[in-house]
Structure 1
Amino acid sequence: MRAPLPAAGDLIEVTRAASVQFVKPIRCRVIRVLDWITYDGWCWLDVYQLDDKGDAVARRSIFVQPVGLVVHRRTAPAPVGRQRWPGPKVRPGTQR
């Protein structure tokens, strides 16, 4: 059984379960899944590595097993209702 691939925008935690090179886990934001030929059960990802505050500190291409990734799906932003502009303010005692 294959694990689903992460999608662009997903936040992932990459640990040793995804690849032995990640002894110290890292957090990343997925840019895209590369369509390079790999071994069965592996994939290449373009990611932004994130620091503790969630800011991107490096762009990396990583070779991982999707089954070992901890994926936090990106949630779609809540739709914003149509904003109405209140129009110009009228001072008391003046005409529009």
Structure 2
Amino acid sequence: MSQLTSEEVSDPVAVERSVVEWAAEVLEEPATAADNFLDLGGHSLLAIELNQRVSDAYGVELDLQVLFEKSLGATAASVMEDLNSRTKNG
């Protein structure tokens, strides 16, 4: 996994692309932002692996409820919200 630039961390499109790509890698299935993690065969152990990638790259944790109940795009939006919140708070 490559290091992300500060522009990529603050770019919602780049965050979404990263989350979708990492989900596809851990699931070993093609994925899009409209796909649901569980519908693609995801489960808790794969969610932990995906969460680790997000944490390593962005320093935030996935909201697993969003990951399991909504699309990968919504999951990426949740990551962006956490990044924006972290930036504002410190």
User: TM-score, length-normalised on structure 1?
Assistant: 0.23
Larger radius of gyration: 1
Structure with more of its chain in helix, by fraction: 2
Structure with more of its chain in strand, by fraction: 1
